[in-house]
Structure 1
Amino acid sequence: MPHHLPPQHVYSAFPSRLGRTVLHNVLVIAGTLVLAVLVMLAALAVRALPAQAAEAETPAGLFFRSGEAGTVLEAPILKSDVAIAVNGMVARATVRQVFHNPSDRWLEGIYVFPLPERSAVDRLTMTIGERRVEGRIMEKAEAERAYRAAADNGQRASLVSGERPNVFVTAVANIGPGESITVEIGFQDAVAYENGTFALRFPMVVAPRYTPEPQPDIAEAPAPQPAIDPVAATGTSGEDGDLFGPVHTDGDKHNLLSLTVELDAGLPLASLRSLYHPVTIETGTGNRQTVILRDGEVPADRDFVLEWAPKASDSPQAAVFAEQVGANAHLLVMMVPPALQAGSLATPLPRELVFVVDTSGSMHGDSLDQAKAAVIAALKRLRPEDRFNVIQFNSTTHALFPQPVAATVANAAKAWHYVSALEAEGGTEMRPALQLALGAAPSESHLQQVVFLTDGAVGNEDELLREVAGQLGAQRLFTVGIGSAPNSYFMRKAAEIGRGSFTHIGDLGEVKPRMDALLAKLEQPALTEIRVGWPLTAGKRIELYPTPLPDLYAGEPVTFAARLEGVDLKELDGQLLIIGNAADGPWQQRLALSELTAAPGVAAVWARAKLVQIEDGLYRSGPETDQAAIRAQALALALDHGLVTRYTALVAIDDAVARPQGENLQSEEIARDLPAGWDAGKVFGHPGTAESPAPASTEMRQWALPAPLLQRAAAADGQAITLPQTATPAERMAILGGAYLLLGLLLVLLVLRRQCRTGHSG
């Protein structure tokens, strides 16, 4: 039986008319948002096309303006490889530089690079494909003329010359398009030994040097410079560079270097470590070690330092390395005096310590932190009877106290606050600081010592060394090299003239041990008036360098090189006698000459030591110094031993003419990198975002660029071109997004207003 139910009515919270209205509004808003998104995507697509095209047409790398409209130039590429073989205390090294020409032009590459300040550079080999050309030693001007004539004639040629004992220049001419030319430079050096540890240091970069205006007298010094006194002021054409050439300031690392050390210490080792670079160590037979950079290639931006220590039972007390060259015997002697017993020392004299801190722009960052920590560590070791002062310098010089004051708690606290607040900026006007520190009145009651903390980034080394020699008096100068690439030549030579010692601090972790060792030297008396006695078998004509032997401090060995003229090593016998004056009285020690260690390179080390002695006359003597006579002596010695000096150079010239007639030779200096930790803004006075300019006459590989980039290239005039960025333009997208959000909000308000009107009318 069918049941007839009444119709059921469905009730809703929203009237059907309102629901249709809401749906209509939602569709309108959604459609508007979809349309907005489509418009934005279309704009992005259109905008991306030029950037992608520019990216496809423009190569990455470093470029310079060619001087022709619409063109820029690609720079040559340099790669360096270093191989060092250490035999006892003599190191023989080969630096291999590969110059590659990526362009379609014929190029000349010029590169400034460092070597150890005591190295004897005596070999040059140029390799082009399978051909090897050996270099010849010449007087510098003659070598430069021969090189330039060969370069102009289209012959491949290379020239290695010295600008400083630790700064060299390689020039390579007529590198063909797409071609590589290899230059190998060989040198000898002596390994350092101190406090029971051997050390090998290889510098990788020449730091920018500050060169002040000539100052015949401090009273004629110019007014203080602005807060930022750039190194670039010493350059030319407003470029980022110094007296040695252009410097990269874009923050990237361009010059890579690989390094291998073959170590034959001759003794069982207790430790072997690289201080600043991760390395891989492979152990061979007979205590031989192979040390390789773990990363293969590293940026050439800081010194490489390798240290090794023999086992305590095998620590050397003396060693003699020998080489026979012709009729002459050459010796390299190292002897460690016995440590003085504490009870035998007399009561030390009170000290007058003056700390001089470099606060120029190149010391910004880690370098100044290291210097401040070093001074604070020294302040803690002052005794109540000592006196001290702190001097800082950059473009100007300032002393904490008018004169040295007693080391009271209050004065030390004031110095601590003063040093902690030091900041780095300005130029490196070092001469006024040296004059102030060394100009103290002589004291009979205190031992006067100056501790100079700096990276040594100056170009007027000879002027400053003459200042030290002329102003030193009875004082002693101790230098502390700070940072990743200090000017070790200047620092070491200043300490030698100042009858002190040189210490290097390259990391904050080294401050305490290095300063403890230095302060121990300051607190303990030196071994003075050291002399050498020879047996009859050594002959009558003996040349020993350095002469006189320098004073020694705690942990330092007696080290010298000697040539025995007309003596055969096989006939050398007897004992070497070394005598001196120690704090507890006369001291002497004998060394048998029957046990010699053969070491190729000793003759070159001796020649280098003699050359240093000759050139020291340039600033050790007075105004009447006969510079012509010094030059003649140094030139004759360098030519005789084949050494690169400030007066000589090595040149290699290929006989074949390579560059076709009608092709021009374009020259370019390869810029150096900034040392690790350096701030281009503090050094050059502007943010480090640009590459160093090239000379206006330089031309290299040309590239056609889009018009916007050509305008930027013209404005940069030799600076690195910033290539187009393909990442999202965040600022523009934020503006567009905000506009679309405002549009959406307006649409919502319009819809709500319409609903309100509809409700009222209903």
Structure 2
Amino acid sequence: MQPWNCLILFVLCFPLYVSSEADVKPSPHITEMTISAKTFARFSQVTVATVVSNSDEASREAMFAVQVPTSGFISGFQMTTENKTLRGLVQEKSIADKSYDKAKTSGSSAGKVSQTPSLPGRDMDNFAVFINVAGNSTAKFELAYQEVIERRLGVFEQKIHVEPMQIVPNLSVTCSIEEPQGIRVFSYILPNQTAKKESSSTAVDIRATPKKRIVEFRPSMEQQRMYGEEGVGGDFIISYDVAHQNDGGIVLVQNGYFVHYFSPNGLQTLPKNIIFVIDISGSMSGFKLKKVREVMQVILGKLKENDFFNILLFDDKVSLWKPEPERATAHNIEVAKKYADETLVARGSTNINSALLDAIDLLRGLFNRENGRGKVIVFLTDGHPTAGVTVPQQIRQNVKKSNEGLSSIFALGFGFDVDMPFLEALAYENGGFARRIYEESDASEQFENFYDEISRPLLVNVRMDYPPSVVVVEDATNRKFPQYFDGSEIVVSGKLRDRLRAADWQAKVTAEGDSRLEFTATPKNLSDVPDVTPDFVERYWAFSKIRELLKKALIAEKTEQRFYRELALNMSLAYQFVTPLTSMVVTEAVHASTEIPRGIIERDAFMVQSSNVRSHVVAGKLPTALQTNACGRLIPRFAALVLGLISVVIA
């Protein structure tokens, strides 16, 4: 029997097409694939376990694709054959690359995780596991990832991709969802189907309690063949919502950490001021502008009479429907529809800077007359700035300085030629978000769904406050939100000063709706709740904090950017998340001593508080919690210890 001497490298992959070799031999057969998703309070742990069998005398390489939501992080990998187990450790990418190269150079049987031969689904990243299975043997590997399930359009939706590329004797997907607020509505959609179902059906069994749903999808081999020769291929989609009250939401506390969910109901929709900023440069010609014309007819019809709106079209020049925003009367909407239908015609180059600055000026003209309203700029483009100011960093600076928190800017990137990092940074630092519109037949529907997400503002100037004597405020995730929209949810997580302190304090939420509003929420301690992972809230906070640090790095100046990236790297290493800054290296675990004890991971040593980071950046000094290695990289003391341990393992 061949010994297992493998090293597998996990890297975040961009969607690329990869041609297969003509002489590829048959892959090992999958005898079992089980996908388990356990969700508690929107935080989900998904494990994909696959057993493969190679009945041939010679070893065979197998490649298995796993699609992970872009909002998720891979958190574990394990591979087992006979009495040997390989487990993954997360390293900084450059170090992981060197480990992988060393394994190949030494003649070890090397595997890796890299891009798959097909594009991933929407809002998904592809990971491919390349693994060499010895002759006449079986192997099992488990890939785990964690994700936060976000609320959009009034529901939480989780997509689990199922595509073994063959008929599998034992195939199952099990989803367990538990929500402390109770589950109000629930449905699921089978792979490659569109019909929503709420109860048990063919190959699906559902068990339900007021706060929990367990869904098991277990298609027989015959049922799998109904999908085609390669069996099941598509997304298993779970949708649900919880019970919402007109209050301060729910605060969960566990082992020194908290997470606060805020999504009040029973509020009046606020009127809004909205400017549609639409790219009509030459690259938008044909299909793209055809879809934009279609959806503008629908979106304009959804405006409410108390809304103010305007349409700004731009190429190298800027043109307006009206000199200033108009009230959304029935007459004005019909006139605007005709304008959009006749003037959305592609022509020149792309002056993003002038278009956005003019849009901000239009809203500023309404500011003094119309307070207590939602303020939104919807910005749609398919490319890069090619006229006027063309440096993205300068455009961002100009827009942020002019906007000054006046409006939330939501950026839509149409297709794959657009500069999404630029749009993401632009939107994030102006209180919005960026979304890609896929250049496919349902592009109009994608645009319409996006508009529905931001069309009904309920609150503005939302602020979440916690007693500083109880909460380490500077370690909490973002606590200020320019607007809260119907169907969404605001979430804040953080650390307590005393790990033993539980529920003898209150969270306070202040906001402006149709009047000045104030909500409170009393924490609930999870220590007595059965079957809840002991570090659930802590990992929720770490997950959210890393995502936030990566966003801050995206918009920061070069000096600050380095520190935000290092903090995100440190936390990724401490919590063993595969992020854009890390990779996962898998080595053979020969002795139990090669495993890293949990006590080594002194996570508090990594968290340099944001205020300290800023003061050090301004002063040009290095935070004391960080140290520099021989290569000039900032690495925490814990990381140095772990990397030393890894070097022993690899050797």
Change (3 A) 1:655 1:492: same
Matches within 5 A, 1:42-191: 64-65=21-22, 72-74=23-25, 82-96=35-49, 114-128=67-81, 131-156=84-109, 167=125, 169-170=127-128, 172=130, 174-176=132-134, 182-191=140-149
Change (3 A) 1:438 1:592: same
Query: Residue 470 of structure 1: CA displacement?
Result: 5.7
Query: Residue 265 of structure 1: CA displacement?
Result: 3.8
Do 2:71 and 2:147's aligned partners in 1 also have CA atoms closer than 8 Å? yes
Change (3 A) 1:544 1:87: same
Is 1:413 aligned to residue 338 of structure 2?
yes
CA distance in 2 between partners of 1:258 and 1:152 (Å): 39
The alignment partner of 2:548 has SS state of: helix
CA distance in 1 between partners of 2:467 and 2:140 (Å): 46
- Deviation track 1:419-458 (CA, whole Å, cap 9, x = no partner) reads 6x899xxxxx9x947546424262322477432468999x
CA distance in 2 between partners of 1:478 and 1:495 (Å): 6
**Which residue of the partner structure matches residue 518 of structure 1?**
453
| Residue among 566, 572, 575 paired with 1:638 | 572
Change (3 A) 1:525 1:316: closer
Letter in 2 for 1:318: G
CA distance in 2 between partners of 1:122 and 1:276 (Å): 25
Matches within 5 A, 1:120-269: 120-128=73-81, 131-156=84-109, 167=125, 169-170=127-128, 172=130, 174-176=132-134, 182-194=140-152, 196-202=154-160, 259-266=173-180, 267-269=182-184
TM normalised by structure 2 equals 0.62
Could you tell me which runs of 5 or more consecutive residues in structure 2 were left unpaired when the two chains were aligned.
Answer: 1-18, 327-331, 368-374, 385-390, 591-651
Change (3 A) 1:358 1:492: farther
CA distance in 1 between partners of 2:138 and 2:414 (Å): 37
CA distance in 1 between partners of 2:547 and 2:489 (Å): 19
Do 2:459 and 2:483's aligned partners in 1 also have CA atoms closer than 8 Å? yes
**Which residue of the partner structure matches residue 402 of structure 1?**
319
Query: Residue 135 of structure 1: CA displacement?
Result: 1.1
**Which residue of the partner structure matches residue 546 of structure 2?**
611
Change (3 A) 1:442 1:640: same
**Which residue of the partner structure matches residue 335 of structure 1?**
262
- Deviation track 1:493-543 (CA, whole Å, cap 9, x = no partner) reads 76543423567999689679836733633xx4642141312375x355762
**Structure label with greater radius of gyration:** 1
Letter in 1 for 2:103: A
**Which residue of the partner structure matches residue 558 of structure 1?**
490
CA distance in 2 between partners of 1:81 and 1:371 (Å): 42
- Deviation track 1:392-417 (CA, whole Å, cap 9, x = no partner) reads xxxxx588x62353664444213125
| Residue among 514, 521, 525 paired with 1:584 | 514
* Percent of aligned pairs sharing the same letter: 16
Query: Residue 370 of structure 1: CA displacement?
Result: 6.6
Letter in 1 for 2:341: W
User: Which deviates further from its counterpart, 437-446 or 103-112?
Assistant: 103-112
| Residue among 548, 557, 567 paired with 2:499 | 567
**Which residue of the partner structure matches residue 215 of structure 1?**
none
Query: Residue 373 of structure 1: CA displacement?
Result: 4.1
Query: What is the number of equivalent residue pairs in this alignment?
Result: 506
Query: Residue 323 of structure 1: CA displacement?
Result: 3.8
CA distance in 1 between partners of 2:261 and 2:580 (Å): 29
Do 2:56 and 2:135's aligned partners in 1 also have CA atoms closer than 8 Å? yes
CA distance in 2 between partners of 1:311 and 1:629 (Å): 40
Query: Residue 589 of structure 1: CA displacement?
Result: 1.2
Change (3 A) 1:390 1:181: farther
- Deviation track 1:9-38 (CA, whole Å, cap 9, x = no partner) reads xxxxxxxxxxxxxxxxxxxxxxxxxxxxxx
Change (3 A) 1:469 1:116: farther
Do 1:545 and 1:561's aligned partners in 2 also have CA atoms closer than 8 Å? yes
| Residue among 527, 532, 535 paired with 2:460 | 527
**Which residue of the partner structure matches residue 329 of structure 2?**
none
The alignment partner of 1:262 has SS state of: strand
**Which residue of the partner structure matches residue 251 of structure 2?**
320
**Which residue of the partner structure matches residue 375 of structure 1?**
296
TM normalised by structure 1 equals 0.54
**Which residue of the partner structure matches residue 614 of structure 2?**
none
The alignment partner of 2:299 has SS state of: helix
User: Which deviates further from its counterpart, 542-551 or 607-616?
Assistant: 542-551
CA RMSD of aligned residues (A): 5.1
The alignment partner of 1:148 has SS state of: helix
Letter in 1 for 2:339: K
**Which residue of the partner structure matches residue 648 of structure 1?**
582
Query: Residue 561 of structure 1: CA displacement?
Result: 1.3
- Deviation track 1:223-256 (CA, whole Å, cap 9, x = no partner) reads xxxxxxxxxxxxxxxxxxxxxxxxxxxxxx8999
Letter in 1 for 2:580: R
CA distance in 2 between partners of 1:126 and 1:456 (Å): 43
- Deviation track 1:478-497 (CA, whole Å, cap 9, x = no partner) reads 2568899x999998776543
Letter in 2 for 1:274: I
Matches within 5 A, 1:290-305: 290-292=215-217, 296=224, 305=237
Matches within 5 A, 1:457-476: 471-472=399-400, 473-474=402-403, 475-476=407-408
CA distance in 2 between partners of 1:195 and 1:179 (Å): 48
The alignment partner of 2:585 has SS state of: strand
Change (3 A) 1:201 1:528: farther
